[in-house]
């Protein structure tokens, strides 16, 4: 039986298209609807802009583009987006949400693992990645590649959106009770505070001592839509523990690391990692924050799934130590159980993952 409040599951997302609450310029891709989210697709042109901006309560995004756009790039046949530049791309999908339904967006997992900074913008927006209840209008994606130049085209999918009705976040007592029955993170003494359950960093290394990767500079381009196309060592420097169980984060370098704990998202729930917690240090963890129902769920093939962490230090070098808390998972109720769970025949790329780069790199 469906709850009155909660995150919309795949069948309800499909119904939004049928009722005109969601619209798109072309037919949906076969795998575009995920268990608890919808992948958003780039439109046919990108605007290179002088700087990121917020429309504010009195302006359309198009008003700002008229003033800030430097040039327009045709994406119909594919184009390179350069590092250090900011682009605004109108998306194929648009919204006409009912008054009781809001939405939020995040980069897709593969987007975060390539250090591509993305944020969804709406007309009259006062927050990035937040779509207020009842919003009706177009969606835009701000894109800024940070480490690697990328190739994108019309239809490329860099971001995803999640829809919710009412308040669906689990409070701390409810979260602790769910952990006791379902083991949300593989920890004997879970840290439940700040509205979420803590994850810590694994710097002990695998059997070869590998603890993570650091992105290289001045590389070739990465084609967003191609899997298994690039040699890891052309883009990444492997990092090893060397027995110290710590890592010094250099300012403005990008790292792929992994959580010590396995993560479990039961079928009736969805989760999101807080992208930055000022209580744990001067660094940002995890651009791509959605965990679909079934991630790490043993019947869906996910036993032992870790959270891959996209980490960037800010102003100063920062020492991470093995077992240090680096973020928190916030869990929400689903309105109903999805028809398909993450990893269950969906071609999910990161089920049962350990330390893993994005799908674009050959093992």
Q: Is the pLDDT of residue 281 over 60?
A: no
**How far is the C-alpha of 262 from the C-alpha of 302, rounded, in Å?**
10
**How far is the C-alpha of 314 from the C-alpha of 327, rounded, in Å?**
16
Say whether domain 6-165 belongs to CATH 2.70.40.10: yes
* Residues linked to residue 80 through DSSP beta bridges, in sequence order: 151
Q: Coil, strand, or helix at residue 54?
A: coil
Phi, psi for residue 130 in degrees, rounded to 5: -120, 125
Per the listing, tokens 């900011």 go with 86
**How far is the C-alpha of 354 from the C-alpha of 260, rounded, in Å?**
10
Tell me which residue of 216, 75, 77 sits closest to 148, measured CA to CA. Answer: 216
The answer to whether domain 6-165 and domain 172-333 are alike in fold is yes
The length of the chain is 363
Residue 318, pLDDT score: 87
CA 32, 38, 39 angle in degrees (round to 5)? 60
Tell me which residue of 217, 214, 159, 204 sits closest to 324, measured CA to CA. Answer: 204
Domain ranges of the chain: 6-165, 172-333
Say whether domain 172-333 belongs to CATH 2.70.40.10: yes
> According to DSSP H, which parts of the chain are helical?
10-18, 61-68, 109-113, 172-182, 232-235
Share the mean pLDDT of the chain: 90
Q: Summarize the confidence of residues 225-247 as an average pLDDT.
A: 92
Total-model pTM: 0.93
Q: Give per-residue pLDDT as tens, 296-323.
A: 887 766 567 888 988 888 778 888 999 9
Phi, psi for residue 163 in degrees, rounded to 5: -110, 145
């Amino acid at each position: 039986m469906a709850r009155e409040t909660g995150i919309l599951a795949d069948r309800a997302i499909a119904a939004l298209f049928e009722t005109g609450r969601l619209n798109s310029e072309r037919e949906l891709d076969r795998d575009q609807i995920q268990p608890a989210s919808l992948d958003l697709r780039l439109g046919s042109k990108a605007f290179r802009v002088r700087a990121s901006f917020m429309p504010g309560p009195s302006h359309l995004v198009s008003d700002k583009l008229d003033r800030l756009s430097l040039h327009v790039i045709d994406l119909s046949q594919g184009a390179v987006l350069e590092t250090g530049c900011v682009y605004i791309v109108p998306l194929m999908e648009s919204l006409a949400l009912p008054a009781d339904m809001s939405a939020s967006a995040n980069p897709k997992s593969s987007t975060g693992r390539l250090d591509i900074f993305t944020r969804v913008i709406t007309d009259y927006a006062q927050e990035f990645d937040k779509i207020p209840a009842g919003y009706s209008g177009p969606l835009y994606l701000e894109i800024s590649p940070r480490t690697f130049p990328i190739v994108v085209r019309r239809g490329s999918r860099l971001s995803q959106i999640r829809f919710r009705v009412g308040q669906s976040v689990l409070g701390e007592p409810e979260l602790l009770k769910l952990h006791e029955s379902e083991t949300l993170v593989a920890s004997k003494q879970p840290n439940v505070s700040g509205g979420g359950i803590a994850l810590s960093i694994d710097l002990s290394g695998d059997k070869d001592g590998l603890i993570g990767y650091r992105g290289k500079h001045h590389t070739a381009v990465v084609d967003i839509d191609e899997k298994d196309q690039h040699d890891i060592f052309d883009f990444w420097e492997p990092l090893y523990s060397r027995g110290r169980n710590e890592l010094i984060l250099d300012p403005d370098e990008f790292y792929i690391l992994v959580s010590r704990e396995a993560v479990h998202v039961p079928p009736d729930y969805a989760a999101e990692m807080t992208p930055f917690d000022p209580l744990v240090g001067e660094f940002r963890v995890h651009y791509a924050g959605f965990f679909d129902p079934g991630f790490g769920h043993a019947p869906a093939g996910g036993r032992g799934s870790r959270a891959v962490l996209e980490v960037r230090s800010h102003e100063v070098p920062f020492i991470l130590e093995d077992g240090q808390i680096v973020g928190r998972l916030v869990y929400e109720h689903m309105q109903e159980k999805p028809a398909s769970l993450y990893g269950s025949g969906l071609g999910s790329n990161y089920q049962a993952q350990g330390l893993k780069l994005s799908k674009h790199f050959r093992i």
